[in-house]
Structure 1
Amino acid sequence: MLLRKKRSYLLLAFLLFVAYAVYRLEPYVTIQMNDDQLSATMKSARLDAEIGYQEGTTRRLRYLQIGQDTSKPLLVFIHGAPSSSAWWLSMMRDSSLRSEANLLAIDRPGYGGSGLGMPMTSVQEQAENVAAVIRSRRHPNQKIVVHGSSYGGTVSARLAMDFPNLVDGLLLQSASMAPTEEYTFWITHPTSHWALSWLLPSGINTANHEKLAHEAELHDMANEWHNIDANTVILHGTDDWLIYPRNAYYACDRIINAPTLVHHMVKGKQHDLLYTAPKLLKHYLHFLLAEA
């Protein structure tokens, strides 16, 4: 009888763990939309958006664009991990941003419609592919403002380093920029092995591989920060437990050639400022668009 009770408790604990895991992973699965799902999401939000593809240097990337007004700057959104262009829906719904700029959200390699589940661990290579999309969507002499979040901030910083003529304004939000200054879940290492990686959703698998390569990639960027010459805003929560606040100070010390550099630590906020401080994000985007 006692053994049967123990087995029942173990089974219950296992089922609770599975239910919790499904609950936590579900948003990262549903955000990896195919074209039809993304189109339906845009229509339900009453947004007239173009969904398209562009061949990059080594990967075909999917993009989502609203607006083709040649008189406006182009505001580019680059998401974190694991995520996709659909993560920027709240920004794309904002009428004040749409009135000031054309909006372009890009699926980074390994996410959404850009080879879901096929990670590209080189930040430099990701920046090259993103640059190809921006060039294809840019009108002659159009100003470019880039908003990168979390790992998307890493790619955005590399984009501004390697293609300074392509970036006029840069918002680095909760961005990973300093080697070793981020939290890595213990389960990331074992689940990145081929024997277990197949159990994970494709977006999580991509994020795992990026995470384990991140330190080396950030070291590779360490001597390139002086190349950033765009107006830059660094925005970070003081209580960010995932990408530590020291990342913001690290980048602030190294971006020495930006005409304007704003460093704002958001008191009491954690990693996801898109949901906890949206007005502040939009404030700085309007600032960078005005400067551009």
Structure 2
Amino acid sequence: MISMFLFCFSCSADSKKSLLELKSEISDVKEFYVTAEDRKIFLVTSGCLPNKNKVLIFVHGSPGGWSDYIAYLKDKDLRSSFCILSLDRPGFGLSGKDSSIADLQLQAGLIRIAIERFLKEQFVSDRTKPTLILVGHSYGGPIAAKVAIDIPYRKDALFLLSAPMDSQLEEVRWYNRLATYFFVKIFLPKEIINSNDEMIPLKWQLTDWDGIWKFINFPVISIHGKKDFLVSFENVEYMRKKINPRRFESMELTDENHFIPWTQEKLIKDKILMVNSK
């Protein structure tokens, strides 16, 4: 279990190194620090040209970073259709890993503010008011859902990848408890500590999400592996019960695990492009 936890951390390569790599391949890559209340949120964009009014936004899991989605930022088909934005959540990467925020509501609020400020600067005219697609993986799923509900822009879709939504399915695991001890923490990277701090209160924080689904007025697409051992596949049934069936679509992957942003990149990309073509 710990090895897979660290695998997820390793998927998020060094942020500065990843940015240099991306800039060497893509000419229109930009980086931003956007202030949200007292926090600076780090964003990376590609394909954000003046004629674009479709924005594709990625929110990473825990642990993670903007570079989890570097393949999507590079993808020529996505870049031709969207202004693509990927961010470091508070407590990770270049968004202040020395000061985490282990609170879904607070994080969703800060991220929404940061995205809104970016959009207002990027799309200064009402005639170019953008339409959004949001993608959230794992812990980033409930955050992306709350941002999608609260942000005052049209949403073409919300993608939830291996997302925990049902508080009844969340449990603090033995390695979460182990990682709270000082003699263990001193050997762990800061972002692993921050990630564990997010996991501990997740169960009771998700109870606040029970009431948000009635505000969903846009398509929600769940993509979840049946062999996901970190976030229960039963979360799909929870969403099926909570979300208007006319708004909800589930893609259930029989032999897939938790790490579908990397293992199912083509499937996710093709589905995003399909939604955009409607």
TM-score range, shorter chain: 0.7 to 0.9
Give the distance between the partners of 1:283 and 1:252, measured in 2 at CA.
23
Q: 1:42 maps to which residue?
A: 22
In the alignment, which of 255, 266, 269 is matched to residue 279 of structure 1?
Answer: 266
Aligned to 1:187, what secondary structure does the other structure show?
Answer: helix
Runs (5+) with no aligned partner, structure 1: 1-19
TM-score (norm 1): 0.84
Q: 1:61 maps to which residue?
A: 41
**C-alpha deviations, 1:10-40, integer Å up to 9, x for none?**
xxxxxxxxxx9799747726836354x2431
Give the distance between the partners of 2:144 and 2:59, measured in 1 at CA.
7
Give the distance between the partners of 1:244 and 1:26, measured in 2 at CA.
19
Q: 1:170 maps to which residue?
A: 158
Q: 1:221 maps to which residue?
A: 209
Aligned length: 270
Give the distance between the partners of 1:147 and 1:23, measured in 2 at CA.
22
Runs (5+) with no aligned partner, structure 2: none
Q: 1:248 maps to which residue?
A: 236
| Partners of 1:49 and 1:66 within 8 A in 2 | yes
In the alignment, which of 88, 95, 102 is matched to residue 114 of structure 1?
Answer: 95
Q: 2:64 maps to which residue?
A: 83
* Stretch of structure 1 that moved more, 45-54 or 139-148: 45-54
Q: 2:142 maps to which residue?
A: 154
The share of aligned pairs that are identical, in percent, is 24
| Partners of 1:77 and 1:104 within 8 A in 2 | yes
Distance 1:150 1:22, change over 3 A: closer
Give the distance between the partners of 2:109 and 2:4, measured in 1 at CA.
35
Give the distance between the partners of 1:90 and 1:162, measured in 2 at CA.
28
Structure 1 residues 169-208: aligned runs within 5 Å: 169-182=157-170, 184-194=172-182, 196-208=184-196
Letter in 2 for 1:76: I
| Partners of 2:15 and 2:67 within 8 A in 1 | no
Superposed CA RMSD in Å reads 2.5
Give the distance between the partners of 1:22 and 1:165, measured in 2 at CA.
40
In the TM superposition, residue 222 of structure 1 has moved relative to its aligned partner by 0.9
Give the distance between the partners of 2:167 and 2:66, measured in 1 at CA.
26
Larger Rg, first or second structure (1 or 2): 1
Q: 2:251 maps to which residue?
A: 264
| Partners of 2:225 and 2:257 within 8 A in 1 | yes
Matched, 1:290 2:277: yes
In the TM superposition, residue 290 of structure 1 has moved relative to its aligned partner by 2.9
Letter in 2 for 1:151: Y
Give the distance between the partners of 1:188 and 1:94, measured in 2 at CA.
35
Letter in 1 for 2:263: T
Give the distance between the partners of 1:27 and 1:241, measured in 2 at CA.
13
Moved over 6 A (4+): 20-24
Q: 1:16 maps to which residue?
A: none
In the TM superposition, residue 58 of structure 1 has moved relative to its aligned partner by 4.0
Q: 1:103 maps to which residue?
A: 84
Letter in 1 for 2:36: G
Distance 1:44 1:183, change over 3 A: farther
Aligned to 1:120, what secondary structure does the other structure show?
Answer: coil
